[in-house]
Amino acid sequence: MMCLIFIYLKMNVCKWCLKYVKKINKSLIRCINMKTDIIHSISLIKSSKNKLKIMESLHEDIKIPSEIANETGIRLNHVSNLLKDLKDDGLVKCLNEESKKGRIYQLTKKGNTVFDIVNK
């Protein structure tokens, strides 16, 4: 669904919707060109400070998990688990999946989009 439209008719609209969409007038709130998976990814990142730190670390750079751990102060095993979550959501990708050690990660196009939205 490319466009989500919420109608506000004397009913409560969730705080999340009010926070992330523009209010057009009293009866109509629109969120234009925001895919459902992007909205899900935004909430995933907003719900975890550590996921946001990892996204910041990978923004416009490629890194291995130990570099991310050193830069962010997050334990290496936790970084690995968070990278798996971000990868499963399509926000990061591993460039050398076949390697057991020294896996290199970078943000995907979707990851960069979500990062830019979250950091507005």
Q: What is the DSSP string of 10-23?
A: SSPPPHHHHHHSEE
Say what the pLDDT of residue 37 is: 78
Total of domains in the chain = 2
d(C-alpha 117, C-alpha 74), whole Å: 23
- For residues 87 and 43, state if they share a domain: yes
pTM of the model: 0.69
Residue 89 belongs to what domain range? 37-118
- pLDDT tens across 38-60, in order? 888 998 899 999 999 999 999 98
- For residues 11 and 56, state if they share a domain: no
- Helix ranges, the chain (H): 15-20, 36-46, 49-58, 65-72, 76-88, 109-118
CB 87 within 8 A of CB 94: yes
Of the two residues 51 and 25, the one the predictor is more confident about is 51
- For residues 30 and 70, state if they share a domain: no
- For residues 10 and 58, state if they share a domain: no
Mean of the pLDDT values across residues 89-94? 94
- For residues 107 and 80, state if they share a domain: yes
What CATH number does residue 50 fall under? 1.10.10.10
